Amino acid sequence: MSLELESVTLGYPDGERRRIILDGMDLAVAGGELVAVTGPSGSGKSTLLAVAGTLTPPESGRVVVGGVDAGSLRGGAAARLRRERVGFVFQQANLLGSLTARDQLLLAAHIGGRRVRAADRARAEELLGRVGLAGKEGRRPHQLSGGERQRVGVARALMSRPAVLLVDEPTSALDRERGADVMALLAEVVREQGVAGVVVTHDLENASVADRVVALRDGRLTSPVRSAR
Amino acid sequence: MFIALRDLRFARGRFALLGTVVALLTLMVVMLSGLTAGLGAAGVSALQRLPADHLAFQRPTGQSPTFTGSSLPAGAAAKAGAVPGVESARPLGTGAAKLAWAAGGERHGSRSESVSVFGAGPGSDLAPRPTADGRIQINRTFADDTGLRVGQRVALGGRTVTVDAIEDTGSFAHLPVVFTSLTTWQQVTRAQQPTVLALRLASPAAAARVDAAAGTRTLTLAKSYGAVDGYSAEQTSLNLMRGLLLIVSALVVGAYFTVWTVQRAHDLAVVRAMGASRGYLLRDALAQAVVVLVVGGAAGTAVAFGAGSLAARAAPYQVSAGTVLLPFALMTVVGLVGSMVTVRRVASVDPLTALGAAR
């Protein structure tokens, strides 16, 4: 499995009480598989992504990302793992305003501390072409539509050839048609690139493109709402 | 520098504004440095040229000796010269007088200027050339400005003397220095005794022995600049202004980069979530500050160099590496210190805030 979460528990202080967000949760996603996690707002969907993406260490349990036990990684080691094995697609794309579409991808190559090479440029062009943005490589975020920005976000997440793709509410800022396009694109690239994909969304209709759809309730993932298509 | 350079291009108007502010502040610091050095030289450059390492003053009744208040005890030069460790002890008279001469040209008349008068004894090497009674050596710049020439007869303090030579005599108390003999100096200034002893000591320890033997207070040549009336106050004021400008620079640059960092905190969180280390973001942020400071500072320095070169023709202003490049380097360092206030903010960006639920 490219992504495994075993008995993961995480809580936050909530006044004088402690609120459990993830309660011994299990999730395993294979390369090339897209799992949609649904649930109401505040159910812990983004927290699940944070734990899977090494942004937040779990209190207990095991997190394996691309074959690396990531549960105990902190600081620089966690950042390195994210850089090399995790791709994030954020809500509203979260692109950097000063960077062109091409540079958004090249940044993913540059933050590893090495010079951007011709091979990086070629991969950036290839990925932007793959997500339907050929000819728009030089445009900045304000020159792109919402759907195009999210497509750049998808291409950026794939730039470092990650083992795991974590997608946070990718359609929340898009209309239904564009949202469906982005979800379909995600399902395609996950299979093509062989990455383990987890997409959190509250939109069951958009989630239907995933191989599995699970719901997060009371800190645990329920049995599949719908299993493999 | 990946993000830094692209930010600079993208937000060029905003960074141009900061660069202009840095340029103006650098312009002021460099100009003020040139003026400080120029005024300092106008105050003491004649002392800097003396072939001496210490000056002995009349022991003052107050805290510090001054040139205007010093009149050496009789026989001080002979007593000091006999002290072991003293290589040479030559009396020097300092004072001010009016130099007047008949002006030629279309409009005949007389002209006068204030000058500092230095008196050096016969055989003394304190003056550029050996001095002689009734003859003076005038400052080259002063000669250029006034048209005075060798052989011209002038009135110095009411006494007629002849211009004997034109030399680089320097300035003292903001007046061009005229060298003459000790005797003529006494006649012109109506002083009884020389003002100071110009000493060359084998070791600084000999200074105390000179003071004990001759009843003087000996200062190093550099410290004796403070004995020129107004020199210390003038330099302190100008340096205080320079210091305040540097502090303002640090605050301006620090405030700008703080606001800038706060505005792009979410972008930084996204980059951290993508796997960038804290060091990567810090290097990028500091590189951005360096570019703005160096480009803005270089522009300000270039303008100040041009303006200073013009100013030096008409005012006590000095253009040198110390008054141009050093303030530029200082501004860059101070600006960087100011921008360091953002380091903590950049380093403490939480990548978790890039995720929707945490915003």
The ipTM estimated for the assembled molecules is: 0.90
- Per the CB < 8 Å rule, is A46 touching B355? yes
Of all helices (H) and strands (E), which one includes residue B67? none
Selecting from B3, B278, B354 the residue whose C-beta is nearest the C-beta of A94 gives B354
pLDDT digits (tens, 9 = 90+) for A7-50: 999 998 888 888 889 999 999 999 999 999 998 888 888 899 99
pLDDT digits (tens, 9 = 90+) for B190-223: 999 999 999 999 999 999 999 999 999 999 999 9
- The pLDDT assigned to B358 comes to 46
Selecting from A42, A88, A172 the residue whose C-beta is nearest the C-beta of B274 gives A88
Distance CA B54, CA B200 (A): 6
The backbone region for B134, taken as left when phi is positive above 0, alpha when psi lies in -120 to 50, beta otherwise, is left
Distance CA B335, CA B346 (A): 17
The DSSP result for B320-342, as a single string, is SHHHHHHHHHHHHHHHHHHHTHH
B237-254 in b/e form (b: 16+ CB < 10 A) is ebeeebeebbebbbebbb
Answer yes or no: are the C-beta atoms of A110 and A159 closer than 8 Å.
no
Name the minimum distance, in Å, from the CA of A212 to any CA of chain B.
22
Instruction: Look up residue A220 and give its two tokens.
Output: 């645990």
pLDDT digits (tens, 9 = 90+) for B144-186: 999 999 999 999 999 999 999 999 999 999 999 999 999 999 9
Length of chain B, please? Answer: 359
- The pLDDT assigned to A226 comes to 56
pLDDT digits (tens, 9 = 90+) for A51-105: 999 999 999 999 999 889 987 788 888 999 999 999 999 988 899 999 999 999 9
Answer yes or no: are the C-beta atoms of A110 and B1 closer than 8 Å.
no
Query: Average of pLDDT values for A130-159?
Result: 94
| Residue closest to B44 by CA, chosen among B177, B233, B193 | B177
Beta pairing, strands B175-181 & B109-120: parallel
Where do we find the tokens 């010269």? B81
Distance CA A104, CA B252 (A): 31
- Per the CB < 8 Å rule, is B356 touching A98? no
Taking the Cβ of residue B274 and every Cβ of chain A, the question of whether any pair is shorter than 8 Å is answered with yes
- The pLDDT assigned to A43 comes to 86
Chain A positions in Cβ-Cβ contact with residue B270 (cut-off 8 Å):
90, 94, 96
Band of pLDDT at residue B74, cut at 50, 70 and 90: confident
Instruction: Look up residue B161 and give its two tokens.
Output: 């003397």
- The pLDDT assigned to B16 comes to 95
Taking the Cβ of residue B348 and every Cβ of chain A, the question of whether any pair is shorter than 8 Å is answered with no
3-state secondary structure of B228: coil
Distance CA B54, CA B207 (A): 8
Answer yes or no: are the C-beta atoms of A138 and A100 closer than 8 Å.
yes
Q: What is the DSSP letter of B59?
A: P
- Per the CB < 8 Å rule, is A90 touching B354? yes
Taking the Cβ of residue B151 and every Cβ of chain A, the question of whether any pair is shorter than 8 Å is answered with no
Count CB atoms within 10 A of the CB of residue B61: 7
Count CB atoms within 10 A of the CB of residue A16: 5
- The pLDDT assigned to B107 comes to 55
Which region among A7-11, B260-264, B273-277 has the lowest average model confidence (pLDDT)?
A: B260-264
Q: Of 3.40.50.300, 1.10.1660.10, 3.40.640.10, 1.20.1250.20, which CATH number belongs to A3-96+149-227?
A: 3.40.50.300
- The pLDDT assigned to A225 comes to 59
Task: Encode chain A in three state secondary structure.
Answer: CCEEEEEEEEEEEECCEEEEEEEEEEEEECCCCEEEEECCCCCCHHHHHHHHCCCCCCCEEEEEECCEECCCCCHHHHHHHHHHHEEEECCCCCCCCCCCHHHHHHHHHHCCCCCCCHHHHHHHHHHHHHCCCCCCCCCCHHHCCHHHHHHHHHHHHHCCCCCEEEEECCCCCCCHHHHHHHHHHHHHHHHHHCCEEEEECCCHHHHCCCCEEEEEECCEECCCCECCC
Taking the Cβ of residue B1 and every Cβ of chain A, the question of whether any pair is shorter than 8 Å is answered with no
Note the pTM of the prediction, 2 decimals.
Answer: 0.81
CA angle B277, A92, B284 (to 5 degrees): 25
Chain A positions in Cβ-Cβ contact with residue B280 (cut-off 8 Å):
111, 113
Length of chain A, please? Answer: 229
Please give the single-letter amino acid code of residue B342.
T
Distance CA A4, CA A25 (A): 10
| Residue closest to A51 by CA, chosen among A89, A84, A5 | A5
Answer yes or no: are the C-beta atoms of A147 and A182 closer than 8 Å.
yes
Beta pairing, strands A34-38 & A212-217: parallel
- The pLDDT assigned to B357 comes to 45
- The pLDDT assigned to A40 comes to 85
Distance CA B86, CA B207 (A): 8
pLDDT digits (tens, 9 = 90+) for B232-261: 999 999 999 999 999 998 899 889 988 988
